[in-house]
Amino acid sequence: MAVPGKVAAFRLPPLPTVGEIIKLFRLKAQKQLSQNFLLDLRLTDKIVRQAGELKNAHVCEVGPGPGGITRSILSAGVEQLLLIEKDARFIPGLQMLSEAAPGKVRIVHGDILTYNMEKAFPKRLKKNWEDEPPDIHIIGNLPFSVSTPLIIKWLENVSRKDGPFIYGRTQMTLTFQKEVGERLTANPGAKQRSRLSIMSQHLCTVENCFVIPGQAFVPKPEVDVAVVHFTPLVQPKIEQPFELVEKVVRSVFQFRRKYCFRGIETLFPEDGRLKRTEQLMMTADVDPTLRPFQLSMSHFRNLCNTYRKMCDEDPSLFVYNYREELRQKKRWHNRSTSQSQLIEEEN
């Protein structure tokens, strides 16, 4: 669990307010990029406190925008702050903050989805995975459009111990739509329980810190925003490759309102599907009449471990794709229908 830190170690010189920066550089949130600005520095301070003690830490802020959270991070007394901003319009305002904190800020104009995080921090900060988390933090008010693909990418990095996690169990404090935040932290039986719940909780301790009302942002989004803190676990709860876990979990939740049996059978080709599904569920000791959201982490662990054994015995299972099989059936059906129509026309 994140230990709230104190935000008072470093004082920035007098600067234009975030609102004045927006006016000065004529910045306007772009709807197609899901941009929403947070201007209240009390709230940005509160977000930064969820990251824990940042004095002399190295921090990467994702999508700093006009720099509200950036100010709070600098005020926490960090040693180095890396800003990764995709939108070039925000760079001049961020450079103003960089000049106000000499030697502390590095600005990268780039896309966080493609940026190489393995070279983002000094090598001396590396820690063994079993040790306490390194003095490295990732913080960001993420655009809604990028938040889910980004956290899935980083969870895969956690699984492989690469990307920003090559330095150890790097902690993350990120914003999501409230509904996504509830999915990330949902327990078995909760209606919000989803693929995200399993993929995040089997790799990290996930804490839904607090909710920011939508009206605090400019422009006001239609939903509230959750601040979520992630600390990678020393030992994952499911010790299987990320791709295998994701395939099993995605299949289970494919029909979330039906019995879990219905989703699990999509792991297998049509020929022998019923027999293999029964074999998997019996060996994993999972009640086939449970709904996907009722399954516990131990249920998913058993399913993944058993599916792995079945894949080892028959490697073609892992590359099998249920949706591709449906697409091929549809193409075959359309082709057959077209041929029948041609024959009828000729007759």
Does 163 count as an annotated binding residue?
no
Backbone φ/ψ region at 46: left (φ over 0), alpha (ψ -120 to 50), beta: alpha
Calpha distance 250→266 (Å, rounded)? 10
Which two structure tokens, joined as six digits, stand for 127? Answer: 């820690």
Backbone φ/ψ region at 2: left (φ over 0), alpha (ψ -120 to 50), beta: beta
Does 85 count as an annotated binding residue?
yes
Cβ neighbours around 242 below 10 Å, total:
19
Upstream peptide bond of 149 is cis (omega within 30 degrees of 0): no
Does 36 count as an annotated binding residue?
yes
Q: Give the three-class secondary structure for 189.
A: coil
Does 63 count as an annotated binding residue?
yes
**C-alpha dist (Å) from residue 257 to 99, 144, 197, 300:** 54, 26, 16, 17
Does 326 count as an annotated binding residue?
no
Beta strands in 98-203 (DSSP E): 105-109, 136-140, 171-177
Instruction: Output the known binding site.
Output: 36, 38, 63, 85, 111, 141
Instruction: Output the known binding site for S-adenosyl-L-methionine.
Output: 36, 38, 63, 85, 111, 141
